[in-house]
Amino acid sequence: MSDTDPILSGRDLVKTFGPVVGLNGADIDLYPGEVLAVIGDNGAGKSTLIKCFSGAHEPDSGAMKVAGQPVLFRSTHDAREAGIETVFQTLAVSPALDIAANLYLGREIRKEGFLGQVFRTLDKKRMRAEAGRHLQDLGIGTVQNITQAVETLSGGQRQAVAVARAAAFGSRVIILDEPTAALGVRESARVLQLIDDLRGRGMPVILISHDMPQVFEVADRIHVQRLGKRAAVITPQSHTMNDAVAIMTGALEVDEAEQALGPVRPVVG
Ligand SMILES: Nc1ncnc2c1ncn2[C@@H]1O[C@H](COP(=O)(O)OP(=O)(O)OP(=O)(O)O)[C@@H](O)[C@H]1O
Ligand SMILES: [Mg+2]
């Protein structure tokens, strides 16, 4: 695999739900170190597309690769094992659990020795210490108490926990489906900063968002999804926000030669 090969790719993906067509031959490529925004109208198939890579959906047909290897994920667990972490549009945190427990949901650290192996006793102290470190790493200073139940956090802090969880465990790719839809201006800015930090660490990110200024600020490339397919890939430099909206609605078509189908960022480290 060379540096210019995609870390994640999908070809001709089809996913139907009974009579409803979610994906109608969709392609996607994510290159190392980049932030790829995915935009499109409601129902264009953005969530369905990324759910194939999150293990939440199995495509009916088509090919998926991660790091050059063909993959088929049967569960979100499979996708996580492959290094892909997703913050879903419908936020998957457990409100009654504390922050550390949420970070480690599904991959709890057990105590060493007999207690852990036989009674599956959780090593809460270690989880809290490590959760605190993860949040610190991500610069989420407003969450002071790691033992605070997530239901007592603000929407933005909750989102930060979900993003922190993904950032802490995603080893290859992080997918964020509308991470700022419910957030205020300051909280959105913080999530945007997190995305930038992730890119700074060389972690590729897929960001689904309806917020055009945000997309144009943070994305290296912009995948426009329309009617279950990739309609075009543009960049903030090659096209305007008006162009992007026109492509979304089908008012503008872009020749392949004018698209950013390959990487546009120099690959880091
Ligand atoms: N589990 C499901 N069962 C039935 N239909 C579904 C299911 N998931 C998605 N769909 C349908 O597939 C199409 C694509 O949906 P999807 O959620 O991928 O759109 P989206 O681009 O993420 O939209 P939004 O911007 O509103 O989040 C829609 O017509 C939707 O109704
Ligand atoms: Mg969606």
**Is 109:200 a contact under the CB 8 Å cutoff?**
no
The pLDDT tens digits for 97-150 are: 666 666 666 666 677 777 667 766 777 777 777 777 776 665 555 555 666 666
Least confident of 50-59, 86-95, 218-227: 86-95
Distance from residue 193's CA to the centre of ligand 2 (Å): 22
Range of the domain at 176: 8-93+170-258
Mean pLDDT of 81-96: 75
Ligand nearest to the CA of 22: 1
**d(Cα 44, Cα 235) in Å, to the nearest integer?**
20
**d(Cα 248, Cα 224) in Å, to the nearest integer?**
6
The answer to whether residue 144 is domain-embedded is: no
**d(Cα 194, Cα 175) in Å, to the nearest integer?**
13
The answer to whether residue 71 is domain-embedded is: yes
pLDDT averaged over every residue in the chain: 85
**Is 127:103 a contact under the CB 8 Å cutoff?**
yes
The answer to whether residue 121 is domain-embedded is: no
Distance from residue 227's CA to the centre of ligand 1 (Å): 11
pTM, to two decimals: 0.84
Best residue for ligand 1 mutational test, from 17, 21, 38, 50 (most atoms within 8 Å of Cβ) = 17
pLDDT for the residue 102 = 64
3-class SS of residue 46: helix
Best residue for ligand 1 mutational test, from 16, 42, 51, 52 (most atoms within 8 Å of Cβ) = 42
User: How many structural domains does the chain have?
Assistant: 1
The answer to whether residue 137 is domain-embedded is: no
Distance from residue 231's CA to the centre of ligand 1 (Å): 17
| Closest-CA residue to 36 (of 58, 16, 7, 68) | 7
Q: Is the pLDDT of residue 262 over 50?
A: yes
- Amino acid occupying residue 164: A
The answer to whether residue 235 is domain-embedded is: yes
Q: Is the pLDDT higher at 113 or at 13?
A: 13
The answer to whether residue 147 is domain-embedded is: no
pLDDT for the residue 173 = 95
Is the CB of 20 inside a 6 Å radius of any atom of ligand 1? yes
Mean pLDDT of 2-6: 79
Distance from residue 103's CA to the centre of ligand 1 (Å): 27
The answer to whether residue 80 is domain-embedded is: yes
Ligand nearest to the CA of 17: 1
Mean pLDDT of 52-69: 96
pLDDT for the residue 269 = 46
User: CATH number of the domain that 233 lies in?
Assistant: 3.40.50.300
Q: Is the pLDDT of residue 70 over 90?
A: yes
Is the CB of 22 inside a 6 Å radius of any atom of ligand 1? yes
Is the CB of 42 inside a 6 Å radius of any atom of ligand 1? yes
Q: Is the pLDDT of residue 268 over 50?
A: yes
The answer to whether residue 75 is domain-embedded is: yes
